[in-house]
Amino acid sequence: MNEVKRILRTSNDTELRRKAWVASKQVGEVVVDDLLELVRLRNELACSLGFPDYHTLKLYVQEFKPEELDRLFDRLDEVTREPFARIKAEIDSILAARFGVEEEELRPYHYSDPFFQEAPNIYTISLDRYYKDANVAELVSDFYKSMGIDVQPIIERSDLYEREGKYPHAYCTNIDRKGDIRVMVNLKPTEQWVETMLHELGHAIYEVYIDPTLPFFLRDPAHSFTTEAVAMFFGRLSKNPEWMREMLNLSEQETEKIRSVVEKTLTMEQLIFARWAQVMYRFEKALYKDPDADLNELWWDLVEKYQKVRRIDGRDKPDWATKIHICSYPVYYHNYMLGELLASQFLFTIMEEEGVDKIKDLRFAGNIKMGKYFVNRVFRPGKKYRWDRFVEYATGESLNPEYFVKQFCR
Ligand SMILES: [Zn+2]
């Protein structure tokens, strides 16, 4: 997969790209029969418990009402459609020029990852050069410390750097719910690893500050999407011009130079992800509703509708079965989207409480008040409240997609 991703990110050889993309989908045919059997078994068990299908059961145990999530995804579809179409047109014109084809000839293998879930690298400024001399662990630790949050003990227990045979991804884990919290990362001085380190330590500090007097089962974040929201809130900072200025000592001029690029990149990432999340949510819902439908066709119908990526003519393969979440982490994807919504809601709550109107006027580094906000209103309650009450407790209102809209859908 790393080789496939490298080719899709860097190669200008269309034939090689096509081969790499097709190779990434080969696993679909290998797993599809087992996966469909699994889907039917999941449905059978859900039905035996009185649910219409497994999708509904999974939402129920995550304390979501299906109609509530449908409404939310409909609203997000409506508000992201236009801004996404504009950004997608810009991406397509750049890619068409790069590969010497007409825009109508662009196919999935022209985009820079196998599912078009990430923003392609199309702007000339790479943020990596601002981080190339940074000690990532120190930089991120200094930032959290400046908000009054000490992450040094977490860092000391953690596995930070690459070595032969090591797990290449990243996660945060709470070993004992008694304070032994660690992150697994493979730090390098790049923007992506700064984002990941901010993200994983976001999960970590949430766990650190949960009220230790709560019973064991409540000593956990309020919901999967609330801990994602915290991690995403901090992860976004690696592309925040003010944060970069404060943490990297950039000059005013340098900050202005990167402002439009980083803001555009972050917006592009959010919109691309929001459209991709639509495909995942709607596909899985349909998959469990009718596993006998023409799923290969349905997948590309949804991709064309929501992501505006054209299918490869005549291809009839289970490309949907290559997305690992559909196989191993079923009916979970919406939590990432809800995390992004809540991350924006946290941001506007903090701005409101500090009397700040514009995002660019909010301070992050050195903002002790912001640190206290997260510790007291977000982390401390753990799982004491149901997620919807928790969101009200932390932000003063129920989960509201309009803050994400305000931030990214203009
Ligand atoms: Zn995460």
What are the tens digits of pLDDT across the range 303-315?
999 999 999 999 9
The CA 273 to ligand 1 mean position distance, Å, reads: 15
Query: What would the mean pLDDT of 225-243 be, rounded to a whole number?
Result: 96
Q: CA–CA separation, 243 vs 349, rounded Å?
A: 18
The CA 230 to ligand 1 mean position distance, Å, reads: 9
Q: How confident is the model at residue 168 (pLDDT cuts 50, 70, 90)?
A: confident
Q: Output the pLDDT for position 355.
A: 96
The CA 200 to ligand 1 mean position distance, Å, reads: 6
User: Could you give the percent of the chain with pLDDT greater than 70?
Assistant: 100
Q: At residue 159, what are phi and psi to the nearest 5 degrees?
A: -105, 105
- pLDDT tens digits, 209-220: 999 999 999 999
Average confidence score pLDDT of the chain = 95
**Alpha helices (runs of H) in 316-375, residue ranges in sequence order:** 324-328, 334-354, 368-373
For strands 181-184 and 171-174, give the pairing. Answer: antiparallel
The CA 219 to ligand 1 mean position distance, Å, reads: 18
Residue 370 in this model has a pLDDT that exceeds 80: yes
Query: What would the mean pLDDT of 223-251 be, rounded to a whole number?
Result: 96
Query: What would the mean pLDDT of 105-119 be, rounded to a whole number?
Result: 94
The CA 202 to ligand 1 mean position distance, Å, reads: 8
- Model pTM greater than 0.85? yes
Residue 2 in this model has a pLDDT that exceeds 90: no
Residue 280 in this model has a pLDDT that exceeds 90: yes
Q: Which of 227, 209, 247, 211 is nearest to 338 (CA)?
A: 227
Query: What would the mean pLDDT of 135-147 be, rounded to a whole number?
Result: 98
Query: What would the mean pLDDT of 346-356 be, rounded to a whole number?
Result: 97
Query: What would the mean pLDDT of 38-58 be, rounded to a whole number?
Result: 98
The CA 173 to ligand 1 mean position distance, Å, reads: 11
- pLDDT tens digits, 56-109: 999 999 999 999 999 999 999 999 999 999 999 999 999 999 999 999 999 999
Q: Output the pLDDT for position 124.
A: 61
